[in-house]
């Protein structure tokens, strides 16, 4: 038996009840266990940090990660999904530093690495419970009880195995390179971490410096720099052999620069060229130091060749500080120029540069002081706005600095990674073929070491005697090498462990920790402790069928997964990737708590429900790497436009089905609207299946929403009389459509569809599945499809629009019946089965094969389109006029019935009073009496009736009703 449906549903409250039902009945667990182990759909979930609450970006990715697994489960797959927590690295260390008011690595060492790391361990899951609550409230099903945690020893051990495996393949090396470096965090960063931090416009002082020639004290080489702080590290100047240079005279001084840059400097040095020459003439020439440092150095302060020097800006001569530029370091090394590092780990000048020792190189004051002390060596000083990189975690400006680091030789993997990427299905496609492909093509070797404390230690022990390296690939290996029982391999636990080298010397841990992106890139292996456990599971599920994250992860997780998957197994670790974009505030600005420019996700779910938020997000550009300006009104609109329409269709069915004691049965229908909606449903199922199989969530969502609209606004509205009469074919058709629609909608809106399913199916079918999420996704039935009927029905709806435009243009209300119309589709008369639909929609009495032309434009109207033609007879007879008035009064009396709280079956006693004969006749018209369910009609007012004075076409009538 059907339960009555609340006409004013509280969707958020009902969702809370559904959550309790799922948890009590273990529906999520059953949804996995009900599917065979030999038919799996594997999914990797990238681990977030639990150091703050989830935002809309997390919810977009999280909902994608729920819609696809729910869909695949309903398609018969076993979809295990386990949560993960990212727990290492600078994000955690920065939080602990702030709590302890620690400003540098030295202070961490003074505080104690062991105490610092234990503080970090205690902090990592601070917001875990809040995450669990919000994720559950969104309706996402994921196993959080058995979440993998990157700080767990088993996870870390698998990371060691990955490191040693690629070490054994010759893909790891120690290098001395100029790398992006964060002075605040005192560690180098990888190139894709720089991308994560992004660039911001920064105003710096630029300076064009005069470097005095050793050969001629009146001749100067001009070089331009945007980083004056690097000038104390100057050891050479570079020119491009392919560029023409000139010597320009100004008074008794001579200046050398690229010919193409003279125009830019002529106001300062003039434009009197005394000599033009090739760069080769300059190479090898010496110049005087601009600062009094590095005396006695043999190979320095000379001009060298640099093929990267351009004339796009500056002077065509580049100042070379080998310690602070990747290209500077390369060309200096090629030319044998000396190397000095005048800056310490904290980004401060060393004592080698006594004038500035202890000053921060990123301070604008330091730059200003250096420029001032250059004196007349500073030819031109200007403000310059340029994009500048910032740290992705502490938001401090980065520098480029030569450091010793461990690298993964991604250059060796590049061709295979590019090939592997070609086999990956990216949504949207342009991310994989564009942004990610270009990233792989230009990827430098990956700096994987961080000179920090809270992370997976790089498992390399270096011998103090012979410098040979010993690499550990498991805890067991380390235990055997040290003779100690080990249960935690964090840095502070193993830092002092010595390993005997075969030469007899002691090997010590090198002391770095791994880049956190290496941690998360090991997730396919480490999350299941592979290869120490779960070999069968890994071989079954690798590579993943599906992953989904934000567009920023092209430089992050997507990249680290690809590097390690290719390095270990020669293949991509994922087959399909859905990339979501950025969710912005409604005004297009970045969401920020301090600006209060967005509604909290919990508030939105409490007000509108998670289903509405989910569908809003999943039908937005954000699902396909686009930006979404989040609008609370947009979520509200989903409730009004979709959820309430769906709910009202369900409520409508329950109302009429309950009246006749409906029980579902197989009935072959011949009604044209039944056949149309069944065909329309199957085509929608086919489209949605194709789109979801291709991970195209927004078009699938739009197709479902369009069908919901058609079901309510066309099928149900057109069939009201059949439902009121208890027509079995109509009720069974609508029942079947609602069940399949609910199943199709369930991955997107799991709550409301569960509510509908419980009433429509569980209440009726003895062997029904316990939850809609344990059922199968609807299957496309081609035999039920009639494309011609759908096309013709679409034409009828267009004809209705054309007819309505005629009524509107002529000022004739829809309730006023007209006598006759003629309609053709492609010059063929409308199918007789469709004629009645058109007549009822346009409130016309008859269909004529032909309408004779009339002299007056007021008596007929014609509308043509490419495929359609409609002619309407506009002549209104007295009989038609009377019926029109009857319908006008009927509409207003129906409002009175609703106000009175009458059911659709209740009959009424009608009382009226009017001086207008036409209205008096209309009250007694059969159309009115039948529509209003009038049992008796009496003229005259009574006091106890529910009444109202009505204005009908300029005349008044008092109407009162009582339940008969």
Q: What is the DSSP string of 96-131?
A: HHHHHT--SHHHHHHH-HHHHHHHHHHHTTTTHHHH
HSE toward the beta carbon, residue 292, CA cutoff 13 A: 3
- Strand runs (DSSP E) across 435-492, as ranges? 446-447, 449-450, 460-463, 469-471
- The CB-side HSE value for 574 (13 A sphere, CA atoms) comes to 27
List all residues 6 or more positions away from 192 whose beta carbon is below 8 Å from its beta carbon: 439, 443, 517, 555, 556, 559
- Whole-angstrom Cα distance, residue 42 to residue 542? 8
Query: Residue 581's closest CA among 625, 620, 616, 619?
Result: 625
How far apart (Å, rounded) are the C-alpha atoms in residues 51 and 53? Answer: 7
Closest to 258 measured CA to CA, from 382, 273, 206: 273
Handedness of CA 170, 175, 177, 182 (dihedral sign): positive
What is the pLDDT of the chain when averaged over all its residues? 92
Is it the case that residue 86 has pLDDT exceeding 60?
yes
Orientation angle between helical segments 750-757 and 11-25, nearest 10 degrees: 80
User: Which secondary-structure segment (H or E) carries 957?
Assistant: strand 955-963
> What confidence tens digit (pLDDT) does each residue in 93-143 have?
988 998 999 888 889 999 999 999 999 999 888 888 999 999 999 999 999
Mean pLDDT of the 624-633 span: 93
pLDDT band at 856 (very low <50, low <70, confident <90, very high): very low
pLDDT digits (tens, 9 = 90+) for 225-261: 999 999 999 999 999 999 999 999 999 999 999 999 9
Are the beta carbons of 307 and 335 closer than 8 angstroms? no
Q: Which of 140-144, 193-197, 562-566, 958-962 has the lowest mean pLDDT?
A: 193-197
Q: For 199-389, which CATH class?
A: alpha beta
Distance CA 140, CA 634 (A): 21
Confidence bin at 854 (pLDDT 50/70/90): low
Is the distance from CB of 22 to CB of 29 less than 8 angstroms?
no
CATH annotation of 631-785: 1.10.730.10
> 546: closest CA among 391, 430, 694, 655?
694
The one catalytic residue among 45, 66, 86, 541? 86
Residues 581/569, Cβ–Cβ less than 8 Å: no
Instruction: Give residue 853's pLDDT.
Output: 56
Residue 424: its pLDDT value, please? 97
Cβ pair 104, 360 in contact under 8 A: no
Query: Considering 161, 392, 557, 714, which one is annotated as catalytic?
Result: 557
Using alpha carbons, select from 495, 459, 488 the residue that is nearest to residue 113: 495
CA distance 70 to 65: 9
Report the DSSP beta bridge partners of residue 384: 204
Give domain limits for the chain. 199-389, 631-785, 789-876, 880-963
User: What CA–CA distance (Å, rounded) separates 248 from 621?
Assistant: 57
**H/E run at residue 319:** strand 317-320
Look at residues 332, 331, 306 and name the one whose alpha carbon lies nearest to residue 317: 306
Q: Extract the tokens encoding 356.
A: 């500035």
Question: Tokens standing for 310?
Answer: 């351009």
Residue 446 has pLDDT above 80, yes or no: yes
Task: In whole angstroms, give the CA distance from residue 817 to residue 875.
Answer: 10
Active site residue 392: no
Is 593 one of the catalytic residues?
yes
> What is the rounded CA–CA span in Å between residue 739 and residue 246?
82
Instruction: List the beta strands (DSSP E) in 884-945.
Output: 908-914, 934-939
Q: For residues 361 and 76, give the distance between their C-alpha atoms in angstroms, rounded to a whole number.
A: 60
Structure tokens of 876?
């209104």
pTM: 0.86
Is residue 63 pLDDT above 70, yes or no? Answer: yes
DSSP state of 86: B
Q: How are the residues of the chain apportioned to helix, strand and coil, as percentages rounded to the nearest 5?
A: 45, 20, 35
Is residue 557 annotated as a catalytic residue, yes or no?
yes
Q: Which of 25, 593, 721, 907 is catalytic?
A: 593
The pair of three-digit structure tokens given for residue 131, joined into one six-digit string: 């995450």
Hey, is 40 helix, strand or coil?
strand
What tokens were used for 561? 């997964």
Residue from 517, 647, 676, 714 carrying the catalytic annotation: 517
Question: Is domain 880-963 annotated with CATH 1.20.120?
Answer: no
pLDDT above 70 for 859: no
The first and second tokens of residue 805, run together, are 């435009």
Kindly list the distances between the CA atom of residue 250 and the CA atoms of 269, 270, 571, in Å, as whole numbers in the listed order: 6, 6, 63
Residue 962, CB half-sphere, CA atoms under 13 Å: how many? 12
Strand-pair partners of 97? none
Q: How far apart are CA 735 and CA 740, in angstroms?
A: 9
Q: What is the CA angle 283-288-294, rounded to 5? A: 105
47 is catalytic: yes
Distances in Å between the Cα of 522 and the Cα atoms of 124, 145, 460, 527, 567 are: 19, 21, 18, 8, 11
Domains 631-785 and 880-963 share a fold: no
* Residue 584 and residue 628 in contact, taking contact as beta carbons nearer than 8 Å: yes
Burial of 853 (0-12, 13-18, 19+ CB in 10 A): exposed
Lowest mean pLDDT among 451-455, 858-862, 959-963: 858-862
CB 702 within 8 A of CB 585: no
Query: 145 is written with which tokens?
Result: 């009880």
The alpha carbons of the chain give a radius of gyration, in whole angstroms, of 39
Q: What angle do CA 720, 722, 724 make, to 5 degrees?
A: 70
593 is in an annotated binding site: yes
Buried-state track 195-227, b at ≥16 Cβ within 10 A, e below 16: bbbeeeeeebbbbbbbbbbeeeeebbbbbbbbb
Which whole number is the average pLDDT over 389-406? Answer: 88
Q: Minimal CA–CA distance to 612: which of 590, 645, 584?
A: 645
Q: Could you give the 3-state DSSP secondary structure of residue 392?
A: coil
pLDDT of amino acid 858: 53
Active-site residue flag, 647: no
Q: Quick check: is 201 catalytic?
A: no
212 given a catalytic annotation? no
Q: What is the DSSP letter of 815?
A: T
Residue 804 pLDDT more than 80? yes
| pLDDT tens by residue, 813-836 | 999 999 999 988 888 888 888 999
Percentage of the residues of the chain whose pLDDT score is greater than 70: 99
Would you say 803 and 811 are in contact if contact means Cβ atoms under 8 Å apart? Answer: no
Phi-psi map region of 353: left, alpha, beta (phi>0 left; psi -120 to 50 alpha): beta
Q: Is the pLDDT of residue 915 over 70?
A: yes
pLDDT tens digit string along 658-717? Answer: 999 999 998 999 999 999 999 999 999 999 999 999 999 999 999 999 999 999 999 999
Q: CA-to-CA distance for 486 and 457, rounded, in angstroms?
A: 14
CA distance linking residue 424 with residue 378, whole number of Å: 54
Which helix (H) or strand (E) covers residue 411, if one does?
Answer: helix 410-422
pLDDT tens by residue, 494-504: 999 999 998 88
| Cis preceding linkage at 531, omega within 30 | yes
266, 270, 272, 273 alpha-carbon torsion, rounded to 10°: -50
* Contact (Cβ atoms closer than 8 angstroms) between residue 357 and residue 351: yes
């Amino acid at each position: 038996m059907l339960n009555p449906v609340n006409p004013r549903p509280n969707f958020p409250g009902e969702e809370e009840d559904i959550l309790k039902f799922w948890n009590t009945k273990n529906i999520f667990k059953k949804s996995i266990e009900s599917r065979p182990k030999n038919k799996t759909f594997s999914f990797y979930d990238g681990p977030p940090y639990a150091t703050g609450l989830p935002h809309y970006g997390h919810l977009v990715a999280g909902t994608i990660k729920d819609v696809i697994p729910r869909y695949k489960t309903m398609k018969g797959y076993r979809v295990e999904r386990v949560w993960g927590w990212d727990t290492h690295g600078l994000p955690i260390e920065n939080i602990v530093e702030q709590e302890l008011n620690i400003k540098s690595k030295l202070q961490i060492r003074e505080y104690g690495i062991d105490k610092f790391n234990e503080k970090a361990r205690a902090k990592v899951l601070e917001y875990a419970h809040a995450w669990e609550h919000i994720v559950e409230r969104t309706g996402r099903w994921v196993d959080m009880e058995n979440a993998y945690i990157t700080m767990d020893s088993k996870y870390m051990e698998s990371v060691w195995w990955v490191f040693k495996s690629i070490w054994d393949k010759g893909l790891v090396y120690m290098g001395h390179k100029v790398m992006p470096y964060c002075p605040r965090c005192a560690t180098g960063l990888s190139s894709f971490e720089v991308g994560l931090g992004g660039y911001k416009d920064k105003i710096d002082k630029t300076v064009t410096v005069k470097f005095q020639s050793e050969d001629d004290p009146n001749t100067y080489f001009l070089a331009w720099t945007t980083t004056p702080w690097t000038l104390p590290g100057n050891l050479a100047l570079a020119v491009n052999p392919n560029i023409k240079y000139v010597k320009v005279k100004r008074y008794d001084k001579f200046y050398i620069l690229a010919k193409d840059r003279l125009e830019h400097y002529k106001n300062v040095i003039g434009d009197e060229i005394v000599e033009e020459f090739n760069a080769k003439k300059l190479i090898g020439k010496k110049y005087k130091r601009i600062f009094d440092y590095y005396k006695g150095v043999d190979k320095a302060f000379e001009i060298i060749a640099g093929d990267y020097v351009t004339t796009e800006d500056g002077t065509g001569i580049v100042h070379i500080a080998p310690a602070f530029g990747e290209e500077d370091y390369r060309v200096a090394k090629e030319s044998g120029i000396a190397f000095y590092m005048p800056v310490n780990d904290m980004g401060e000048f060393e004592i080698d540069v006594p004038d500035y020792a202890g000053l921060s190189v990123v301070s604008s004051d330091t730059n200003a002081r250096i420029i001032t002390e250059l004196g007349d060596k500073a030819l031109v000083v200007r403000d310059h706005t340029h994009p500048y990189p910032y740290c992705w975690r502490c938001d401090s400006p980065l520098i480029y600095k030569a450091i010793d680091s461990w690298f993964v030789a991604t250059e060796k993997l590049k061709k295979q990674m590019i090939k592997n990427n070609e086999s990956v299905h990216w949504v949207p496609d342009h991310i994989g073929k564009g942004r990610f492909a270009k990233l792989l093509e230009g990827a430098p070797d990956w700096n994987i070491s961080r000179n920090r404390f809270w992370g997976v230690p790089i498992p390399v022990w270096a011998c103090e005697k012979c410098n040979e390296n010993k690499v550990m690939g498991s805890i067991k290996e380390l235990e055997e090498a040290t003779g100690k029982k080990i249960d935690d391999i964090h840095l502070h636990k193993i830092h002092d462990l010595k390993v005997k080298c075969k030469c007899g010397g002691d090997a010590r841990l090198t002391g770095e920790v791994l880049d956190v992106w290496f941690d998360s890139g090991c997730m396919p292996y480490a999350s299941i402790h592979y290869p120490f456990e779960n070999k069968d599971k890994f071989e079954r599920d690798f590579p993943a069928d599906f992953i989904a994250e934000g567009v920023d992860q092209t430089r992050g997780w997507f990249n680290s997964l690809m590097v390690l998957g290719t390095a270990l197994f020669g293949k991509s670790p994922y087959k399909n990737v859905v990339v979501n974009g950025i969710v912005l505030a409604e005004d297009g600005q970045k969401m920020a708590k301090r600006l209060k420019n967005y509604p909290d996700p919990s508030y939105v779910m409490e007000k509108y429900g998670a289903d509405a938020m989910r569908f809003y997000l999943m039908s937005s550009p954000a699902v396909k790497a686009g930006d979404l300006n989040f609008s609370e009104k947009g979520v509200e609109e989903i409730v009004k436009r979709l959820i309430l329409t769906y709910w009202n269709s369900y409520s409508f069915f329950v109302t009429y089905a309950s009246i006749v004691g409906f029980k579902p049965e197989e009935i072959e229908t011949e009604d044209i609207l039944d056949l149309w909606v069944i065909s329309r449903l199957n085509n929608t199922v086919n489209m949605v299946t194709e789109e979801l199989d291709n991970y195209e969530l927004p078009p699938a969502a739009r197709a479902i929403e369009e069908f919901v609209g058609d079901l309510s606004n066309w099928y149900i509205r057109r069939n009201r009389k059949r439902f009121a009469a208890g027509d079995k074919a109509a009720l069974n058709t609508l029942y079947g459509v609602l069940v399949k629609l609910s199943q199709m909608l369930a991955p997107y809106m799991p709550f409301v569809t569960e509510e509908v399913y419980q009433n429509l199916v569980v209440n009726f079918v003895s062997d029904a599945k316990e939850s809609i999420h344990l059922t199968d996704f609807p299957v496309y039935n081609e035999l039920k499809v009639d494309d011609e009927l759908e096309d013709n029905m679409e034409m009828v709806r267009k004809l209705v629009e054309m007819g309505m435009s005629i009524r509107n243009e002529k000022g004739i209300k829809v309730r006023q019946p007209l006598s006759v119309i003629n309609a053709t589709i492609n010059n063929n008369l409308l199918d007789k089965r469709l004629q009645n639909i058109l007549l009822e929609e346009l409130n016309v009495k008859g269909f004529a094969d032909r309408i004779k032309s009339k002299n007056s434009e007021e008596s007929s109207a014609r509308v043509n389109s490419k495929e359609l033609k409609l002619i309407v007879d506009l002549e209104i007879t007295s009989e038609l006029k009377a019926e029109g008035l009857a319908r006008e009064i009927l509409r207003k009396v129906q409002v009175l019935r609703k106000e009175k709280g009458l059911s659709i079956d209740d009959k009424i006693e009608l009382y009226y009073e009017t001086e207008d004969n036409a209205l008096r006749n209309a009250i007694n018209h059969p159309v009115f009496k039948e529509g209003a369910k009038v049992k008796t009609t009496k003229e005259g007012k009574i006091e106890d009736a529910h009444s109202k004075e009505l204005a009908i076409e300029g005349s008044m009538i008092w109407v009162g009703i009582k339940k008969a």
